[in-house]
Structure 1
Amino acid sequence: MKKTIAIFTTILVLMTMTSFAQTELKKYKAGHTFEIGLPEYMSKTIGINGSSAIEYQNIVKEVYGFIIFDTKEDLDLVDMKFSSINEFYDDFIKDFLKDEEKRKVSKPQFQKKGEINFIESDVTFYDKEAKTEIYYLVGIVETKTSYYKVMSWAAAEDKDKFKADFQKILYSLKD
């Protein structure tokens, strides 16, 4: 009898609680997952860029990189709706290293692989602190849900040595 009363009371409490709910809940997913390939000589690291989702480097070869993503949903929340990957690229590149000496930006190259859009360009500048010219492969990726900035760099004198690997990193991105 006591068990029956306890079960009945529990059921009554649960039914009462659900009947007082004002609205249905909308479900959200948190976090973002994507895949990227790195050359065997590079490893994940931290401390390069606080906004990045992943960072990679090889200190001996002096090559570095990181990836930052922005979901389209999050950009919409702050009224930053881009009509295309070209518009996203233009918005980013105009300020990228703009105050650095001898900054040069190549013409962007566009590619589409399946449903994913890619833009890449070469950026060089003179780093006063390091007293050397630095080369960046700047990659922008657009998927159905997000925009990614894929930044890989090395000394400009090593551009020919590492550019193909930097491109492999860029074009391996998927979400």
Structure 2
Amino acid sequence: MKKLFTIFIMVILLIPILSVAQSKFNEIKVGHTYYLNIPDYMTATTELNKSASLQYQNTLKEAYVIVIEDNKAQLDSLGMRFTDPQDFYDGFITDFTSGLENKKFTGTKRIKIGPNSAVQAEVSAMFDGNPIWYFITVVESPTHFYKIISWTLEENKNKLKPDYVKMVNSFHE
């Protein structure tokens, strides 16, 4: 009887872990430019950022992602030249986080996503009294810089980070 009870408890404890680790993803084509696999628990919205070409959310899970694309030729015509994804990240992160309090930044990490160079960073901060965690990736393609910005409440970070990483790593043009 004791053995059966122990097995029952272990099964109950493993169910939430397995359900988080097995999120299904759907590949979303944005315009003619890029693709990103989005967890199937997120739905399209237009309410997160007016500049974003992709916006998905799940308000119950407090899971959000946007992609903002910047055409290099347009940036160049405005006199804005960036040498690499790190330079681009450095150029936007101060403005992006200006409305946040108690900001804590991880250092950026240089990565490759397919053939593209990218940088990733995490930011923890307070926004409207809520502890928020951001997972920010800047991807450089031959013609664009893409800011992939995912966020959630700090308390959901460990649950959602694997999905956010998988989502970002699925990026391709």
Q: TM-score, normalised by structure 2?
A: 0.78
Shift of 1:53: 0.2
**Displacement, 1:74?**
1.1
Which segments of 5 or more consecutive residues in structure 1 lack a partner in the other structure? 1-30
Any idea what the Cα deviations from partners look like across 1:33-78, whole Å, max 9, x if unmatched?
2111101111211111000001000111111111000011111111
Q: Specify whether residues 98 and 38 from structure 1 end up closer, same or farther in structure 2 by C-alpha distance, changes over 3 A only.
A: same
CA distance in 2, matches of 1:145, 1:106: 28
**Cα contact 1:115–1:144 (8 A) shared by 2:** no
The structure with more strand, counted as a fraction of residues: 2
Aligned runs of 1:4-153 on 2, under 5 Å?
Answer: 33-128=33-128, 131-153=129-151
Equivalent-residue separation in structure 2 for 1:141 and 1:96 (angstroms): 17
One-letter amino acid matched to 2:143 = T
CA distance in 2, matches of 1:98, 1:171: 27
| Aligned residue type for 2:111 | Q
Q: Which amino acid aligns with 1:76?
A: D
**What is the deviation of 1:99?**
4.0
% identical aligned pairs: 35
CA shift digits 1:83-128 (9 cap, x unpaired): 1111111111122213421011110111124420121111111123
Structure 2 stretches lacking a partner, 5+ long = 1-30
What is the count of residue pairs matched by the alignment? 143
**Cα RMSD after superposing both structures:** 1.4
| Deviations, residues 129-157 of structure 1 (Å, cap 9, x unaligned) | xx320001011111111000111110001
Residues 148-159 of structure 1: matches in 2 within 5 Å?
148-159=146-157
Structure of larger gyration radius = 1
- Matched-pair contact (CA < 8 Å) for 2:110–2:120: yes
Q: Deviations for 1:147-175, whole angstroms, at most 9, x for unmatched residues?
A: 00111110001100001111112121111
The two structures have a TM-score, normalised by structure 1, of: 0.77
Give 1:32 deviation, angstroms: 5.0
The residue aligned with 2:20 is none
